[in-house]
Amino acid sequence: MTTDQSAPHELPPTILSYVKDLPNICSLAGLACTILAIYFSLIGIFYLAMIGMVWAVAFDWADGLIARRMKGRTGDDSTFGGQLDVIIDIVSYGVTPAILLLSYGKFEPIFLIGAFIMVAAGAIRLSYFSTFGLAGGKNYTGLALDNNSLILVSIFLFESVLSYESFTVVLYVSALCLSALNVSQIKTPKFSGNPMNVFMLASYTLAITAIYSWKLL
């Protein structure tokens, strides 16, 4: 007669147990900003959409900064947070700019092409990063997706000084160029790892928020 001496399997943590992790809370706050950006894009209040987009980047950078400074996080915490980041990134930096393009283009069929290219480039870019990580441990291959939002909110400042037709072309071309850079072989540094860059992003976020809030008035 034999007895099973094997240790009982440890149950995995519950799904929602990861929500209390502070970096993940920041990630979800960024997702909330993204949802607001999508909503305001769909109803045509583009200045509020810009504010949502730039704050989504700010929270995205904040979660990484907090995670690196926190003590006691397990490997599972880091893995879960990394996967959550990737999923939110495709929504924030792929789907949201695509919806912005579609909405500003009044959902004309020609804008579906640009929207698809943006989302596809984002998905390919993130899949490549998930597979190979940073080149040499410090540089991204291809333009990091968060730059899409940072650049687009700056480009949108010209919306009020150009005709609708002219700015539509500018926005479309910018979207295609950013998508090409996302999947290119250029090497770009990991800006979010530098405290000075984090300070610059905070200043940029506040400035963009102030400018677009003033435009709304």
Instruction: Tell me the CB-side half-sphere exposure of residue 4, using CA atoms within 13 A.
Output: 4
Look at residue 176 and tell me whether its pLDDT is greater than 80: yes
Contact by Cβ (8 Å): 104, 171 = yes
State the pLDDT at residue 3.
53
Helix boundaries (H) for the chain = 22-42, 46-69, 75-90, 96-104, 110-132, 146-155, 164-182, 195-216
Look at residue 4 and tell me whether its pLDDT is greater than 60: no
Tens digits of per-residue pLDDT, 48-75?
Answer: 999 999 999 999 998 878 877 777 677 7
**Domains defined for the chain, CATH in brackets:** 19-216 (1.20.120)
| pTM summary value | 0.90
Cα–Cα distance between 148 and 140 in angstroms, integer?
14
Contact by Cβ (8 Å): 147, 204 = no
97 to 4, 19, 70: CA distances (angstroms): 56, 27, 32
